Amino acid sequence: MGRLKTPLLLQRGQPKCDRLGRIKKLDLSNLQLRTKDLDLKLLNRMKQLRELDLSDNLLEKVPEGLDLPSLQILKCSNNQLEDVTPLQQFTALEEVDFEDNLYLTVNDSYKISSLLPNIRKINGKETASLMNHVKILNRELTSRVTAYWEKNYQDQLGSGAPAGDVHKEFVKSAVKDVRYGPESLSDFTQWKVKMIAQQLVASKLTRKEAPSEEVSREDDSSPETPAGTPRTPATPAGASSQEYVLKLSAFKWKKRLPSDPPPCKRARPSPPPQDSQPVPREPSLSSRSSSPGCGQSVLAEGPQGEMDTEGQEPMELQPMHFLQCHSKGNSPEDFSTQLWACAFEPACNDGTGLPGGASHTVATCGGEAVCVIDCQTGLVLHRYKVPGEEFFTVAWTCLTLVTQDGRKKRSSVLAAAGRRGVVSLIHVRAGFCYGDIRAHRKPIAMACFSPSQETHLFTASYNKRIILWDIGLPDYSYNFRPSQLLVLDASTTPLRLCPVPSCPDHYLLAGCEDGCFAWDIRLNESRKRDFEMVFLFPQGPGQAYKRVDGLGFVSEDVVASKGCTPGSICLWSWSQSLAGREDKQQVTAVILAQLPWSNTQLPYLTLSTCPEKAFVFCGDEEGSVWMYDVRRYLEQQRPLQAKVAPTKILRWPDLSARGQKMNKTLINTAVADPTFTYLVALTDTNIIAIWNKL
């Protein structure tokens, strides 16, 4: 379409009138308009215009110089916009919709919230929680930029160097070096750092104090909130309840002293039948004889003599956040939703990651929601909800996405699955689910991506099958074609999946209801196959435990598994076990060490590993997290079968929320990021606990 004319504007405007200055609502949608077709002189005559619809056009940008002082609602979805900063010219803007613009992401929502203080809705969602997060980010980034200036550049002004050169170099290096927040918001934080640095430079040039946005001391997420006072995002009347997240970190908590009453111990009268799905646990209460202090390092004693404590170093973890963000119906009274799995976002190596490739962003699942959380701030960045679903597993991968103009960019994609047997694929950076794969007819217990093939996804289901999928690469319109590559049959439900790090395209290791098995997953053979090996573990007299519900590699060769031997975690060697196989289907696991753990018979308390730091983690039925430093056992040439005392048993703190004691819980899983900076524990009482390693 050509340039806009007055007759068209009068025809499409409301109320119907003969003057542009009286129009309050204008619909210019679906006209194939380009930015050059917008006549600023005509549009700027509409001083009373309150709502403008530019949806379903071909706009490359919103032109500068639009003088629309009354504009409150702007719709510009399904265009080709690449930048939202021109929207700052609309100072009265309250609602904006820019969905289905391929180049715009969640970072642009943060930019709009930073630029427009009156904004109430972005893409149909209330912005109360988002605005609160922007304030926190701005406050922290301002502090870090100022500190960066004082440390590296302030003294250079007196050294004779030209002030202009110093300031120019400062802005450039600040954008490069100052980091805060999750990787998914790196575009926003770099943009904000540049803005703060330029404001600081301007103030120094004019010999004034550096300007900064005013932040209320009474901000809901401020760590100075008095203990015992509920803290929730400030939500105006009419705000969407989906923005509600109860943050327990502001509630009263204290370290449990030895004299405090011990927490109640949860137990199940009898183990569930094989192939049963995770179900709500009915607790029966009993007491414990002693209770070490919260976070106290403990040397557990076992039935076979002294523990090996050589090489273990003391460590401390500080509780950071306790969150309740998976509530059914967003109810603050929900302390029954069980949380099952979490995984840290990987670094995508596209130049925007945190220093050292570390990630502070974790995905959690439980109930009908999947949440993406920034461990540093404790804020929920995204929340994906499917009514009627119960999510059991999440897994990350990094895909190379191609834009409409052929540009390539690495982006994180999250796979989530559960009771419906459907895998949801979520483009976290864009903040939406772009597709589903109907993977199984029964619930999915676990999903994991191949470490060597970014599009290869394993799913394990209660139909006693593991399927290898190629999820494909979505195009610029998010069209994708998943394909089924392999079907691996099991005799019972597979619970845990681990591609073998030393040969990730050859073997898949799985913990099942009836033991630990390995499959040949090479794609040059038949597409459907049975397991190739079953691993045998030592069992005491009269013990018939076979379930392996915890499994993970601590190194390329050493495996940690839980279930076959009650009250302990086995550390065993993959290569040494296979060396004595002699083409037999039954393989005796070569045990390197035993890690004493809780004597509970409750299933599905899964372990996790941190290979970079050689740690094993496992929660128990009393809310404790057992941590083991196993570095010295990773290079053993012969099995010692040592009993390794836990490096630390992190006790659950006494919490209270809404007048209710929260010191009785059960840890379903505990996971650390690759650098062991943060530890995240998920409970069966709808609480996410985040600790920071000091």
Q: What is the tens place of the pLDDT at every residue in 200-249?
A: 887 766 543 333 333 232 333 333 333 333 333 333 333 333 333 444 43
438 domain-assigned: no
CATH number reported for the structural domain that contains residue 20 in this entry: 3.80.10.10
259 domain-assigned: no
84 domain-assigned: yes
659 domain-assigned: no
Q: What is the tens place of the pLDDT at every residue in 399-451?
A: 988 877 777 888 899 999 999 999 999 998 887 888 999 999 999 999 999 99
Domain boundary among 89, 104, 119: 104
693 domain-assigned: no
Q: Would you say residue 300 has pLDDT above 60? A: no
Helix residue spans in 532-615 (DSSP H)? 574-579
What pTM, to 2 d.p., does this model score? 0.64
* 3-state class (DSSP) for residue 670: strand
Q: Which position has the higher pLDDT, 183 or 97?
A: 97
Q: What is the DSSP string of 408-469?
A: EEEEEEEEEEETT-EEEEEETTTTEEEEEEE--SS-EEEEEE-SS-TTEEEEEETTTEEEEE
How far apart are the C-alpha atoms of 279 and 338, rounded to whole Å? 9
- 119-145 as b/e, with b when 16 or more CB fall inside 10 Å? bbebbebbbbbbbbbbbbbbbebbebb
pLDDT at 641: 67
203 domain-assigned: no
- Rounded to 5°, angle at Cα 117 from 116 and 123: 60
Please compute Rg for the chain using Cα positions: 28
* % of the chain beyond a pLDDT of 90: 51
Q: Would you say residue 640 has pLDDT above 90? A: no
Domain boundary among 104, 136, 155: 104
**Where is average pLDDT lowest: 84-98, 192-206, 352-366, 455-469?**
352-366
Q: Would you say residue 82 has pLDDT above 70? A: yes
pLDDT at 648: 94
Q: Would you say residue 488 has pLDDT above 80? A: yes
pLDDT-derived band at 581 (thresholds 50, 70, 90) equals confident
Q: What is the tens place of the pLDDT at every residue in 652-668?
A: 988 877 777 777 789 99
Domain boundary among 54, 69, 104: 104
Q: What is the DSSP string of 263-283?
A: PPBP--SSPPPTTPPP-----
Structure tokens at 517: 């098995």
For the segment 83-92, the average pLDDT, to the nearest whole number, is: 92
How many domains in the chain? 2
For the segment 580-593, the average pLDDT, to the nearest whole number, is: 87
Domain range enclosing 615? 517-647
Q: Which residues have a Cβ under 8 Å from the Cβ of 585 and sit 6 or more positions away?
A: 532, 533, 534
479 domain-assigned: no
Q: What is the rounded average pLDDT for all residues in the chain? A: 80
619 domain-assigned: yes
For the segment 660-679, the average pLDDT, to the nearest whole number, is: 89
